[in-house]
Chain A
Amino acid sequence: MAKKPEIKGTAQFLQGNEAVVEAAIAAGCSFFAGYPITPSTEIAEGCAEKLPLVGGAFIQMEDEIASIAAIIGASLAGAKAMTATSGPGFSLMQENLGFAYIAEVPIVITNVMRGGPSTGLPTKVSQSDVMQARWGTHGDYTPIVITPSSVQEVFDLTIHAFNCSEMLNTPVILLLDEILGHMRERIIIPDTEDIKIENRKYPSVPPEFYKPYSNTPSKVSEFVAFGEGYRYNVTGLTHDEFGFPTSVPGEVEQMLTKLRRKIHTHRKEVILYEEEYMEDATYAVISYGTSARAAMSAVRKARAHGVKAGLLKLKTIWPFPGRKVYQIASSVKGILVAEMNMGQMIREVDRYAMGQCKVAGAFRYDGLVIEPDEIYEKLLELRATK
């Protein structure tokens, strides 16, 4: 395992939720609309305090539906915009999230996961919104969902979330969990010049030739804000390249294909993961978020006991790094998926393992954090099964 190069910057001791605020501002976020909800509230509080100081704006809306609506409006008006919530609020946001997908509006939604369904476990940890983040709003679309596992990663991946959303004109969901949101760790905030920032592409043509949903080869259209002299229409209806509603079959198919392909043609830039001890591994643990930390300890313990275990830590869970999982499945005897839910990501892992190796899960869903020993025990069980 190669040692990571030391990042230059300022050391800080931050909570995950605070790191989201710092990173959002560093990424150029200048608008936040939100509604209080445990365990994400510190993000709204941080934005309320810090955004006016950098010339941005904060507003507390009447509910989560209004919050996501306001950030979509803000983004169309030219601002990088974010909201933050947790399970029940994320459920309320689903309809307008679909609007942002179809209307191709860059926004970032942070969901600090707690236990569900419904009000569930407001103050306890969970990773049970993994499938909701993939399929929550109705219709066909391809979401980008990012899962950091440390406060440093929260900072770095919040920047990545904004960059993906700006690069591809799409909503990006930043999935934290309660522990990550509230845990404090030392992080290095890189110097401004070392932070890579992506911005939406301003039109290269004058208004009379502008098509806001131009079906370019890369499937990413040039995007200009309201009020810049390019008067166009934005709708949640299936639309043509001008943004006007259409139900003509060819145009409908083209629009839906565009939505999918703009993400898939940029998979390499979007999908991030890390591998630890995978070079010679005969058993792989696949995990993400806080669970990946316990999984790392479990892998080290297994190595200490002579089991050749390795870890695939997913930082982007959607689009799913299926090719990587397929490749791992072809080289190991078994894959263990560690997550804090009743088994959500394991379905996708199983799908891409394609029967090449055994697949089992280490799940925890009682509100407590999954522990290294649980994962280690499941790993031994997996090794023992035929």
Chain B
Amino acid sequence: MELEALSPQHDYLRIQKKFPTVWCPGCGIGTVMSAIIRAIHELGINKNNIALISGIGCSSRMPIYVDFNTLHTTHGRALPFATGIKMVRPDMKVIVVSGDGDALAIGGNHFIHACRRNIDISMILINNYIYGMTGGQVSPTTPLNSYAHTAPYGSIDPPFDAVNLASSAGATYVARGTTYHIVQTSKYIKKSLEHKGFSMVEVISQCPVLYGRLNDYKTAVKMLYRQKEQAVMLKAWEKLSPEERVDKYPIGEFVENTDRQEYTKTYAELSKQVREEATNGKD
């Protein structure tokens, strides 16, 4: 009970029979969930005003546990569901939680179109390099030559870079963090929630049970240390030579664009204008 009194997290978790979570010991998704909650708590957003939407996969189980208006949809489709909610309730804070398979394989088309529209949705993309829920298959972010149950001889498919994809498709806030750098990542999530427009925060996370086991990272701790070795702050990354960049990736804020107007605001203005013209009898 004392612990409950200490942690604000408990105000945001569902009290009904929903625990323990489906996530394996050592999984990074819970870390991301508390980072999201921390960001919401710090911003003081009313729980009634938050819609949290997910697709299918390990990370997409998050809606079950958090005490918001939650929607657990079909595989890859969280963004179009969220788009419908945001169009009808532009005042609501709409958050999408997705995994690498969900967002970038089956949901890839929805992902680029949500970026293109710049609709005000905060997308948290938890990237653990593998399909966890189905038992460890290769995903669009699985690094080359890594092993998975559908890549028993090593993956030959070049991975997507979610940050580059979101940036070039038109997302107006794009950041990447890791579960190792979680305090920093929580700040990015907070900024994405404050941002008006489509934002995407990729969080590199660990799956010790499947990705780790198949690729020689036996424990979650080992995987977190790996994140520490691989992740380089954007400023430092820019100074690295191509050789130095091998086996590393940049973290930080990649896009922060406040010039482009948000989609539902544009629609509201357009709608107001055509109604005025209709009443004034203009064609």
Show the binding face of A for B, using Cβ within 8 Å.
30-31, 33, 52-53, 55, 57, 59, 61-63, 65-67, 69-79, 81, 95-96, 99, 226-229, 231-237, 242, 244-245
Q: Tell me if B168 counts as interface (CB < 8 A to partner A).
A: no
Q: Tell me if B72 counts as interface (CB < 8 A to partner A).
A: yes
A59→B87 contact, CB < 8 A = yes
A77→B89 contact, CB < 8 A = yes
User: Please, which residue of chain A has its CB at the minimum distance from the CB of B70?
Assistant: A233
A74→B68 contact, CB < 8 A = no
Q: Tell me if B3 counts as interface (CB < 8 A to partner A).
A: no
Give the CA-CA distance A95 to B51 in the complex, in Å. 22
A77→B88 contact, CB < 8 A = yes
Q: Tell me if B63 counts as interface (CB < 8 A to partner A).
A: yes
A57→B88 contact, CB < 8 A = yes
Give the CA-CA distance A57 to B275 in the complex, in Å. 12
Decide yes or no: A77 and B92 within 8 Å by CB, A65-B80, A226-B51 being known contacts: yes
Q: Tell me if B246 counts as interface (CB < 8 A to partner A).
A: no
B278→A53 contact, CB < 8 A = yes
Decide yes or no: A226 and B83 within 8 Å by CB, A53-B275, A234-B71 being known contacts: no
As a 0/1 sequence over residues 69 to 95 of chain B, the CB contacts with chain A under 8 angstroms (1 = contact) are 111111001011111111111011000
B18→A244 contact, CB < 8 A = yes
| Cβ-defined partner of B85 (8 Å) among A63, A65, A226 | A226
User: Please, which residue of chain B has its CB at the minimum distance from the CB of A239?
Assistant: B72
The secondary-structure label for the interface of chain A is: mixed
A234→B88 contact, CB < 8 A = no
Q: Which residues of A contact B88 (CB under 8 A)?
A: 30-31, 57, 73-74, 77-79
Interface residue tally on B, bucketed by range: 35 or more
Q: Which residues of B contact A75 (CB under 8 A)?
A: 84
**Which stretch (B140-148, B173-181, B185-193, B266-274) binds chain A?**
B266-274
Q: Which residues of B contact A52 (CB under 8 A)?
A: 267, 270-271, 274-275
Q: Which residues of A contact B64 (CB under 8 A)?
A: 233, 235, 244-245
Listed by A's residue number, 24 A-B pairs whose Cβ atoms lie within 8 Å are: A33-B80, A52-B271, A52-B275, A62-B109, A65-B80, A67-B80, A70-B84, A72-B81, A73-B53, A74-B85, A74-B87, A77-B84, A77-B87, A77-B92, A81-B84, A95-B74, A99-B74, A226-B69, A227-B49, A227-B51, A227-B91, A228-B48, A235-B64, A236-B74
Give the CA-CA distance A374 to B178 in the complex, in Å. 70
Q: Tell me if B282 counts as interface (CB < 8 A to partner A).
A: no
Q: Which residues of A contact B85 (CB under 8 A)?
A: 73-74, 76-77, 226
| Cβ-defined partner of A66 (8 Å) among B77, B89, B270 | B77
A69→B80 contact, CB < 8 A = yes
B16→A242 contact, CB < 8 A = yes
Decide yes or no: A229 and B278 within 8 Å by CB, A70-B83, A70-B87 being known contacts: no
| Cβ-defined partner of A69 (8 Å) among B16, B77, B86, B271 | B77
Q: Which residues of B contact A232 (CB under 8 A)?
A: 69-70
Decide yes or no: A236 and B18 within 8 Å by CB, A31-B84, A73-B80 being known contacts: no
Decide yes or no: A63 and B109 within 8 Å by CB, A53-B274, A74-B88, A235-B64 being known contacts: yes
Q: Which residues of B contact A76 (CB under 8 A)?
A: 71, 84-85
As a 0/1 sequence over residues 253 to 283 of chain B, the CB contacts with chain A under 8 angstroms (1 = contact) are 0000000000000010011001100100000
Give the CA-CA distance A372 to B10 in the complex, in Å. 70
* Closest 5 pairs (CB-CB, A-B): A73-B84, A70-B84, A69-B80, A66-B80, A77-B88
Give the CA-CA distance A52 to B267 in the complex, in Å. 9
Q: Which residues of B contact A245 (CB under 8 A)?
A: 64, 72
Q: Which residues of B contact A70 (CB under 8 A)?
A: 80-81, 83-84, 87
B84→A229 contact, CB < 8 A = no
Q: Which residues of B contact A65 (CB under 8 A)?
A: 77, 80
Q: Tell me if B110 counts as interface (CB < 8 A to partner A).
A: yes
Give the CA-CA distance A50 to B70 in the complex, in Å. 31
A69→B84 contact, CB < 8 A = yes
Q: Tell me if B113 counts as interface (CB < 8 A to partner A).
A: yes
Decide yes or no: A72 and B84 within 8 Å by CB, A55-B271, A227-B48 being known contacts: yes
User: Please, which residue of chain B has its CB at the minimum distance from the CB of A70?
Assistant: B84
Give the CA-CA distance A63 to B109 in the complex, in Å. 9
Q: Which residues of A contact B213 (CB under 8 A)?
A: none
As a 0/1 sequence over residues 96 to 134 of chain B, the CB contacts with chain A under 8 angstroms (1 = contact) are 000000000000011001000000000000000000000
B72→A236 contact, CB < 8 A = yes
A231→B63 contact, CB < 8 A = no
Query: Whole-angstrom distance from the CB of B18 to the nearest CB of chain A?
Result: 6
Give the CA-CA distance A66 to B77 in the complex, in Å. 7
Q: Tell me if B239 counts as interface (CB < 8 A to partner A).
A: no
Give the CA-CA distance A74 to B277 in the complex, in Å. 27
Q: Which residues of B contact A59 (CB under 8 A)?
A: 83, 87, 267
B81→A235 contact, CB < 8 A = no
User: Please, which residue of chain A has its CB at the minimum distance from the CB of B51?
Assistant: A226
User: Please, which residue of chain A has its CB at the minimum distance from the CB of B93?
Assistant: A227
Q: Which residues of A contact B83 (CB under 8 A)?
A: 33, 59, 61, 66, 69-70, 73
Give the CA-CA distance A235 to B86 in the complex, in Å. 18
Q: Which residues of A contact B84 (CB under 8 A)?
A: 31, 33, 69-77, 81
Q: Which residues of B contact A235 (CB under 8 A)?
A: 63-64, 71-72
Query: Whole-angstrom distance from the CB of A104 to the nearest CB of chain B?
Result: 13
A73→B81 contact, CB < 8 A = yes
Query: Whole-angstrom distance from the CB of B210 to the nearest CB of chain A?
Result: 21
Q: Which residues of B contact A55 (CB under 8 A)?
A: 271, 275
Query: Whole-angstrom distance from the CB of B90 to the nearest CB of chain A?
Result: 9
User: Please, which residue of chain A has its CB at the minimum distance from the CB of B49?
Assistant: A227
